[in-house]
């Protein structure tokens, strides 16, 4: 078997969920498991959190249905709402909470005949300008939705644009927008993503919505997951499948862009961009072999990448190579590639087997 595996540490996941809850005692939390639980496997993540999580949040009906098939009980919130009228009926059958993100959504909901009423989360556009009602529209729609037979709980939610930047002025403005609507008697309110769970206590409200921190990555550019007390959940491990000596002056890999400055020992690793390792990772980016960091040498190819083993003479064929995990934080790799841990995690492809511990 090709030596490449994503090991998912479910104890670390549970640790991270309880850390999120500890930030906001007495509040509830939807564990955000959209995008196949940020690439970790939604079914397994839901099973591992089922006895502790108050609920789960997903993007679409399809994601919700996959989870409902293995968990009959859990409260589940559709974050992006329904995309067509018929989906409200399906959402009611699946016993989902739905976000209603604008007037068109609300009209469709009120036109639906549902087997049971839905818990509705009116989404306020408090400043991100992506989804949601204006504050004025929330006020207009509130009485209609309150009276509607399709609506069970009527709740309010919103989403931060800059919660990952502490002290960003938009955070306060969004919070003010939200709080101005709290005189309406919503059953529950929810505003906090991971970054706000950690640093914006005023946004905790009734329900938290932590995503990335559950998986042990940081939402902040300047605060590491480790400093936050998070444990990495996924370890991506490949193997050293070839080793060769390359004389000074010879190049390695596509484009011949990396040239040996000294007689070098080059290792070939069984992971490439078709597995989800970013092609944008520059030469010099670290992987870990035998507890020691070694640098990437040359371009990442589809199925493989090369590393410079010259300073790790002990390295042997068959050695494990940690591409990210406890020894090589995913956030460090993401930063080197100009992206965020979220993107790397969600882009681990189907051909990488997941193993759960």
Q: Which residues bind ligand PLP (CB under 6 A)?
A: 32, 34, 79, 159, 193-194, 209-212, 219
Structure tokens at 234: 């996924």
Contact by Cβ (8 Å): 313, 208: no
Q: Is 1 annotated as a binding residue?
A: no
The CB-of-59 to ligand PLP minimum distance in angstroms stands at 7
Q: Which residue is nearest to ligand PLP (CB)?
A: 211
CB of 219 to ligand PLP, least distance (A): 5
Give buried/exposed letters for 133-171 (b at 16+ CB in 10 A, else e).
bebebbeebbeebeebebbbebbbbbbbbbbbbeeeeeb
Cα distance between residue 161 and residue 54, in whole Å: 25
Active site annotation includes 342: no
| Distance between CA atoms of residues 77 and 79, nearest Å | 6
Would residue 88 show up in a list of annotated catalytic residues for this protein?
A: no
- Closest separation in Å from C-beta 146 to ligand PLP: 23
Catalytic residue among 28, 231, 254, 356: 254
CB closer to ligand PLP, 210 vs 253: 210
Closest CA to 4 of 328, 322, 344: 322
Nearer to ligand PLP, 209 or 299 (CB): 209
DSSP state of 296: B
Nearer of residues 175 and 212 to ligand PLP, judged by Cβ: 212
The single residue of 34, 123, 277, 342 carrying the catalytic annotation is 34
> Which tokens belong to 138?
């929330």
Nearest distance in Å: CB 60, ligand PLP: 11
Q: In degrees rounded to 5, what are phi and psi of residue 342?
A: -50, -45
Smaller CB distance to ligand PLP: residue 135 or 320? Answer: 135
In sequence order, the 6+-apart residues with CB closer than 8 A to the CB of 93 are 115
At residue 143, what are phi and psi to the nearest 5 degrees? -65, -35
11, with CB counted inside 10 A (0-12, 13-18, 19+), is exposed
Q: How far is the CB of 34 from ligand PLP (least distance, A)?
A: 6
The least CB distance from residue 11 to ligand PLP, in Å, is: 20
Give the C-alpha separation, 31 to 47, whole Å.
Answer: 12
* Nearest-angstrom CA–CA distance, 92 and 86: 10
| 128 labeled part of a ligand binding site | no
Burial of 10 (0-12, 13-18, 19+ CB in 10 A): middle
* Residues annotated within a binding site for substrate: 130, 302
* Residues annotated within a binding site: 130, 302
Residues acting as catalytic residues: 34, 254
């Amino acid at each position: 078997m090709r030596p490449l595996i994503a090991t998912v540490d479910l104890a670390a996941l549970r640790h991270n969920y309880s850390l999120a809850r500890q930030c906001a005692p007495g509040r509830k939390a939807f564990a955000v498991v959209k995008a196949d639980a940020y690439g970790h496997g939604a079914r397994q993540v839901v099973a591992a959190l089922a006895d502790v999580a108050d609920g789960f949040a997903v993007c679409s009906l399809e994601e919700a249905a996959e989870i409902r098939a293995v968990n009959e009980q859990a409260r589940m919130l559709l974050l992006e709402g329904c995309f067509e009228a018929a989906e409200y009926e399906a959402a009611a059958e699946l016993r989902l909470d739905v976000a209603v993100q604008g007037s068109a959504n609300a009209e469709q909901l009120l036109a639906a005949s549902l087997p049971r009423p839905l818990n509705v989360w009116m989404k306020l556009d408090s400043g991100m300008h992506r989804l949601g009602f204006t504050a004025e529209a929330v006020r207009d729609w509130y009485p209609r939705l309150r009276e509607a037979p399709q609506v069970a709980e009527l709740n309010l939610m919103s989403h931060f644009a800059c919660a990952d930047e502490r002290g960003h002025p938009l955070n306060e403005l969004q919070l003010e927008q939200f709080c101005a609507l709290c005189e309406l008697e919503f059953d529950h309110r929810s505003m906090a993503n991971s970054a706000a769970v950690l640093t914006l206590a005023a946004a905790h409200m009734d329900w938290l919505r932590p995503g990335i921190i559950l998986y042990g990555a940081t939402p902040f550019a300047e605060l590491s997951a480790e400093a936050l007390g998070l444990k990495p959940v996924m370890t991506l491990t490949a193997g050293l499948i070839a080793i060769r000596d390359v004389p000074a002056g010879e190049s390695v890999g596509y484009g011949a862009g990396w040239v040996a400055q000294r007689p070098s020992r080059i290792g070939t690793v069984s992971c490439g961009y078709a597995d989800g390792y970013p092609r944008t990772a520059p030469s010099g980016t670290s992987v870990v072999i035998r507890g020691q960091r070694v640098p990437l040498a040359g371009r990442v190819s589809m199925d493989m990448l090369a590393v410079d083993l010259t300073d790790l003479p002990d390295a042997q064929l068959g050695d494990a190579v940690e591409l990210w995990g406890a020894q090589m934080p995913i956030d460090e790799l993401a930063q080197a590639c100009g992206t965020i841990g979220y993107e790397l995690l969600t882009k681990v492809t189907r051909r990488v087997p997941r193993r759960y511990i």
